Amino acid sequence: MTSQVDPTRELPNSHRRHTDGDGDHPLHCVWEITLACDLGCGHCGSRAGVARPDELSTKEALEVVDQLAELGLQEITLIGGEAYLRDDWDEIAAAIVDRGMLCTMTTGARNLDAKRVAKAAEAGIKAISISIDGLERTHDVLRGARGAWKSAVAAAERIKDTPILLGTNTQINRLTMPELPALADLLVEIGSRAWQIQLTVPMGRAADRPQLLLQPYDLLELYPLLVWIKQTRLEPAGIHLQPGNNIGYFGPYEHLLRYGGDKGAVWDGCQAGTRVLGLEADGKIKGCPSLPSTKFTGGNIRDLSIAEVVAGARELTAIGERDRDDLWGFCGDCYYGDHCLGGCTWTADVIMGRPGNNPYCIHRALRFDHEGKRERIVKVEDAKGDPFDTGRFEIVVENHPEARPEVIDAILGIPAEDVTTMTTKSESAWDLDHLRKALQKG
Ligand code: SF4
Ligand code: SF4
């Protein structure tokens, strides 16, 4: 899920269980206010580009703001598509702030010019998170627009000169993973206060490009790399790392990565529908913005109030009621199952077809590795081509083709020394031909 970054505090978007002393209801809503987009990202889960045919009017959107305030939401993150492509985006933002909620925005920032940044500041937007997926060449190819990286960096610099807090977010996949150390350096240069990271999962356009995805065993290289980046590059610069909810779970890295390394703070289950809410631009209500629309829409704003859907729609409430008996496959027998409940609902569902069995898990990868085995996901059915749609994958368990080195000496085949010494001036870890092949439909 793309969502906001507020570097000043522990964030609702980390979905850590907490109470606000005001009952049991979602605290953080991620609201797609339009599906229109000025980028064409090859990994976009919502296949954004053109506005939905029946997006909410301004009047309807402002009524949604009232409902969210009455329900006790604390933070609303505006996303798209590209939120600023709606003519009334700043009016919606100002209404959110007027109702006492925190308003934040996540953006690809291709056209987040000075005028729009000024409007965001005037509306009272607290934080803007800019999506940066790798170094310049990688980002531009992934995001489907030449110049997108330069625009994003320029927008970040504009935001830095305002009271708005600057955050960044990155999708981790086969193209961006070796560039993460250099990307961390870039965040230092542009003054990002926080960095939200998330694994790319096969939804929407990413489902059409399985070669982009990490394999579960790649997590064995990724997690030590993330810890190293956090300790050597982010912490000295005061940048807060925010692992998204599919960066998990348990094992030797959880306490080093999640919740700022708080003692005793561990992943405690998906909070879709209980602490988190997602809205689509045509009024669909989901427990989390990333979840597939067909299965997880609990109702529409035009038919029901948000409070009614949160309280009564099984598509939302069933997620919060999941228990150990709902886990299956490897997760069904997992030692951490009672707490973890199979990790991120969205990630498990889009890969495995239903929640409760999640191959993107470091504990799981380590268990297989211990036995000299690994899991590989293989696409067996294409996605149809709709927003938030999914294909179907199967897991292959196989022997490791070779013994893993005791010290990680390469990241996705690139020598570790090259990965850790890559600079922000490098255009990419990959040549153009490799990038283009990775973005072909497969
Ligand atoms: S194997 Fe499944 S239940 Fe166990 S920690 Fe990993 S995702 Fe959670
Ligand atoms: S499905 Fe659950 S864990 Fe995954 S991103 Fe959504 S709210 Fe977070």
Q: From the alpha carbon of 1, which atom of ligand 2 is closest? A: 5
> Could you tell me the distance, in angstroms and rounded to a whole number, from the CA of residue 294 to the centre of ligand 2?
16
- Angle, vertex CA 151, rays to CA 147 and CA 157, nearest 5: 150
> Could you tell me the distance, in angstroms and rounded to a whole number, from the CA of residue 29 to the centre of ligand 1?
26
pLDDT given for residue 24 in this prediction: 81
Pocket test residue of 219, 334, 362 for ligand 1, highest count of atoms within 8 A of CB: 334
Region 201-212 average pLDDT: 95
Pocket lined around ligand 1, Cβ cut-off 6 Å: 249-250, 330-331, 334, 336-337, 340, 342-343, 358, 361, 363-364
Q: From the alpha carbon of 250, which atom of ligand 1 is closest? A: 5
For 214: left if phi > 0, alpha if psi spans -120 to 50, otherwise beta; the answer is beta
| Per-residue pLDDT reduced to its tens digit, 100-112 | 999 999 999 999 9
Nearest ligand by distance to the CA of 243: 2
Whose C-alpha lies nearest to ligand 2, atom 7?
Answer: 272
> Could you tell me the distance, in angstroms and rounded to a whole number, from the CA of residue 265 to the centre of ligand 2?
17
Q: From the alpha carbon of 288, which atom of ligand 2 is closest? A: 6
pLDDT given for residue 21 in this prediction: 46
Q: Is 263 helix (H, G, I), strand (E, B) or coil?
A: coil
pLDDT given for residue 23 in this prediction: 55
CB proximity list for 39: less than 8 A, separation 6 or greater: 48, 82, 108, 110, 143, 144, 145, 148
pLDDT given for residue 166 in this prediction: 98
Nearest ligand by distance to the CA of 367: 1
**Residue 439 Cβ < 6 Å to ligand 2:** no
pLDDT given for residue 22 in this prediction: 52
Q: From the alpha carbon of 269, which atom of ligand 2 is closest? A: 3
pLDDT class for 442, splitting at 50, 70, 90?
A: confident
Distance, CA of 6 to chain centre: 15
Bridge-partner residues for 279, per DSSP?
31, 285
Helical packing angle, 136-143 and 432-439, nearest 10°: 30
| Per-residue pLDDT reduced to its tens digit, 399-424 | 988 888 888 999 999 999 999 999 99
Q: From the alpha carbon of 287, which atom of ligand 2 is closest? A: 7
> Could you tell me the distance, in angstroms and rounded to a whole number, from the CA of residue 365 to the centre of ligand 1?
10
**Residue 128 Cβ < 6 Å to ligand 2:** no
pLDDT class for 215, splitting at 50, 70, 90?
A: very high
Whose C-alpha lies nearest to ligand 2, atom 2?
Answer: 270
- Per-range mean pLDDT, top range of 91-95, 383-387, 389-393, 408-412: 91-95
This prediction has a pTM of: 0.93
Question: Cα dist. 280→55, 79, 84, 97, 422 in Å?
Answer: 8, 10, 15, 20, 39
Whose C-alpha lies nearest to ligand 1, atom 6?
Answer: 361
pLDDT given for residue 412 in this prediction: 96
